[in-house]
Amino acid sequence: MTYPILSDWTTPFEIAPFADIADDDFAPALDQAMLAHNAQINAIASNPDAPTFANTIEALEAAGEQMDKVLSVFFTVAGADSNPAREALQRDFSPKLSAHFSGISSNKALFQRVADLWSRKDKLNLTDEQARVLMLTHRGFVRAGAALEGDEDARMQEIKARLASLGTSFTQNLLADERDWSMDLSEDDLEDLPGFIVDAARAAGKDKGADGPVVTLSRSLIVPFLQFSPRRDLREKAYRAWTARGANGGETDNRDIATEILQLREERAKLLGYASFADFKLETEMARTPEKVRDLLMQVWEPAKSRADEDAEILTQLMQADGVNGPLEAWDWRYYAEKRRKAEHDLDDAVLKPYLQLDRMIDAAFACANRLFGLEFAPLDVPLYHADCRAWEVTRNGQHIAVFIGDYFARSSKRSGAWCSAMRSQAKFPKVQAPVVINVCNFAKGDPALLSYDDARTLFHEFGHALHQMLSNVTYESISGTSVARDFVELPSQLYEHWLEVPEVLAEFATHADTGEPMPQEMLEKVLKAANFDQGFQTVEYVASALVDLAFHDGDAPVDPMAKQAEVLTSIGMPKAIGMRHATPHFAHVFAGDGYSSGYYSYMWSEVMDADAFAAFEEAGGAFDPECAKALEENILSTGGSREAEELYLAFRGRLPGVEALLKGRGLIAA
């Protein structure tokens, strides 16, 4: 049987025909795609001809087109528009896909062909890009356990299958806890809240079918509620629910899952001959070793904690002035920090947000990309997977570059957070293909939709990832776009955040939702001056999470991760009134998959570079310096993983930065 998902996509720019794809199609279509992929792999492995780059490496690059179609669509909708059927499919697919890809990586005949080419690499007359793809392919096979034999090989396959299943369970438990909890608000509870929170709470209640407004565990709603609600009892209730995700007991509790994941990762690393999972994981990153990661984090921790301790004293005084005795608690920090921000910077989020309309911030992100890289964006009227989604054709000098899809609003069917993914990555082999890139966010709905300043930064951040995909210009998909070291992948996204803070960008695009007037110059100056406000808190909550992640994986796996978490936090003197940004039971970056395991530090590693990279623009002709933009595209945004990350950054900047630029950028030391 032919399924729409596997047929030739005759839609504009070959976007997935979402309207024609039923949930019932996914399982049989995946089975059919896996059979086709296995046939391609077996043909490569059993080829009687001697291995060549073309009949082995390029053949592997070209294989699996049907798999790409099924998985790109399925994982897009499973993450951004889940339902019970898709959740059940995810649970079924995880071990099935793990077994499928493990079968490829453990195919001895196939690995022998790759190893043969690797042994003759200097005699193959490969291009630099081909040599890179060969190295990465060989390394990928070895790190997947292709060189293991007998019982060790079999055990590796079991571990990978179990890890895939556990990661899916962790994600779905977290989504269930986020989806199932809400707190009803009475009309009295709304009285002292800004209009944008009231609107978001009413919209959330409507989405949940409640009788009135509610607070949910969506970050775009709960964080503003914690900032603005004067009801300390409600703040405590909401905060405790938010931080208890994945740790509520019962079927959705993630603590035992985290324990098993860590133990299996340690076993996996030791089967491959590494001292720890962190040693295994960091081998391919810029940082290389756990020691370098810890050194970076601790260089940032001390000044951040010092600033946070100073801030806590000020916030405690504000709280006591309100007649609240006792220590400052975690559910108090955001509320009194907002009061302090308003007092010190005369900046009220409720007054600021009407100037940060979602549509205008999208326009701003597009306009910056136009000035920097010549990209133009035209709306596309195409069926997508949800009514909230929008699409644009991206062109340059009249030539099609990419399709960009934005899915911006929070809903109960969408997992929390924000992310960028490519439904199709750029490549020139086996055929030329332009990317289809998606940004998924969780902003509160409104008419019009209004963003906090942090929301606006998130929008620019994810669009930076999208530019990395859209401007990619390599031959092979395996090194395209964001297929780079984990501690390098955040550089383009974090760097792009800086353009939101360029005064002329805000002056043009920060216009009032009701009057259309631009943000007053006085307010603009306050926004930019307050950009580093509360950086002690923000840095401490992040670095604490990164240090716990590293401790989990550097050495023997903890028998009790919660006890290990507590031990790490005690050892670094974690302030009582600040919680980890992601505590263990809801640390999806680390436990939903291997992506950021031992790698949550990478945001900060990239920030060391992004502060220095934006300084390159400032040292040149300013934020839109054309020569600097050209160098950024040629050496970083277009190159994907075609060279080592350190080499790419050196080509752009001429040197590697120190941590001082980050500390100055966050206002943690004097500029």
Active site residues: 462
Burial 195-208 (b: 16+ CB within 10 A, else e): ebbbbbbbbbbebe
Structure tokens at 571: 């050892």
How far is the C-alpha of 358 from the C-alpha of 353, rounded, in Å? 10
Could you tell me the maximum CA-CA distance found in the chain, to the nearest angstrom? 83
What do you get for the CA distance between the two ends of the chain, in Å? 65
Structure tokens at 628: 């600097």
CA separation (Å) from 126 to 54, 526, 647?
Answer: 11, 55, 19
Q: Do β-strands 436-443 and 399-409 pair in parallel, antiparallel, or remain unpaired?
A: parallel
User: Which DSSP string do the residues of 296-327 spell out, in sequence order?
Assistant: HHHHHHHHHHHHHHHHHHHHHHHHHHTT--S-
C-beta separation of 453 from 527 below 8 A = yes
How far is the C-alpha of 596 from the C-alpha of 285, rounded, in Å? 11
CA separation (Å) from 116 to 104, 109, 119, 135, 142?
Answer: 17, 11, 5, 12, 13
How far is the C-alpha of 67 from the C-alpha of 264, rounded, in Å? 27
Phi, psi of 632, deg, nearest 5: -65, -45
How far is the C-alpha of 557 from the C-alpha of 539, rounded, in Å? 26
Count, residues in the chain:
671
